């Protein structure tokens, strides 16, 4: 039961993170991402539950923003909910609208979820380009890095070379 509550809390935090994915600037921001794997055969029910929750949240005048993505490749039905935060303290903010709609998650979303993987990422503005306003796809590549400083050196060198070439 504790594990279920922890996973549910993580799911809710991802939904209520402020500011949708927007253009990056020089200030570092945090990106909360919840990778939600939907049970086989439950995709339509899951999506209906998400629509019900969003409807409830907006009706209750919820103010937080999020972005939802569907993975197009790979095994299973996976959705990613993202939200930007300026700092870690944002995670502690109360959201009454979210709390009022909590039972919608419990009854109409959670029964269709196989697992949730929560991650928080920090932007690396020095190595980034601005996120296009009209972007419809996001390619994600994960790297397992043993020496972070060496990886950052390589990324920096490649980024500098790309900027020079452009």
* Three-class SS of the chain: CHHHHHHHHHHHHHHCCCCCCCCCCCCCCEEEEEEEEECCCCHHHHHHHHHHHHHHHHHCCCCCCCEEEECCCCCCEEEEEEEEECCHHHHHCCCHHHHHCHHHHHHHHHHHEEEEEEEEEECCHHHCCCCCCCCCCCCCCCCCCCCHHHHHHHHHHHHHHHHHHC
Quick one: pLDDT at residue 111?
Answer: 97
Q: What's the confidence (pLDDT) of residue 25?
A: 43
* Among 44, 43, 14, 46, residue whose Cα is nearest residue 118: 14
Any idea where the domains of the chain sit in the sequence? Answer: 2-165
Query: What is the C-alpha to C-alpha distance for residues 68 and 81, in angstroms, rounded to an integer?
Result: 4
Q: Across residues 125-150, what is the average pLDDT?
A: 79
Higher-pLDDT residue of 52, 91? 52
pLDDT of residue 164: 84
Report the predicted TM-score, pTM, of the whole model to 2 decimal places. 0.68
The CATH class, in words, for 2-165 is alpha beta
Task: Give tens-digit pLDDT for 73-129.
Answer: 888 899 999 988 888 888 788 877 778 888 999 999 999 999 999 999 887 777 777
- How many residues belong to the chain? 166
Q: What are phi and psi of 119, to 5 degrees?
A: -140, 150
19 vs 81, higher pLDDT: 81
């Amino acid at each position: 039961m504790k594990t279920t509550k922890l996973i549910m809390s993580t799911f809710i935090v991802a939904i209520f993170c402020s500011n949708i994915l927007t253009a990056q600037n020089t200030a570092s921001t945090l990106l909360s991402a919840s990778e939600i794997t939907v049970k086989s055969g439950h995709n339509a029910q899951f999506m209906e539950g998400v629509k019900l929750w969003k409807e409830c949240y907006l009706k209750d005048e919820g103010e937080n923003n999020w972005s939802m993505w569907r993975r197009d490749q790979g095994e299973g039905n996976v959705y990613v909910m993202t939200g930007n935060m300026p700092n870690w303290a944002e995670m502690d903010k109360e959201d009454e609208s979210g709390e009022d709609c909590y039972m919608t998650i419990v009854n109409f979303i959670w029964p269709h979820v196989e697992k949730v993987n929560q991650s928080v990422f920090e932007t690396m503005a020095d190595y980034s380009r601005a996120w296009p306003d009209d972007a419809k796809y996001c390619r994600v590549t994960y790297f397992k890095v043993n020496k972070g400083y060496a990886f950052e050196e390589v990324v920096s060198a490649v980024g500098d070379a790309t900027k020079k070439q452009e």
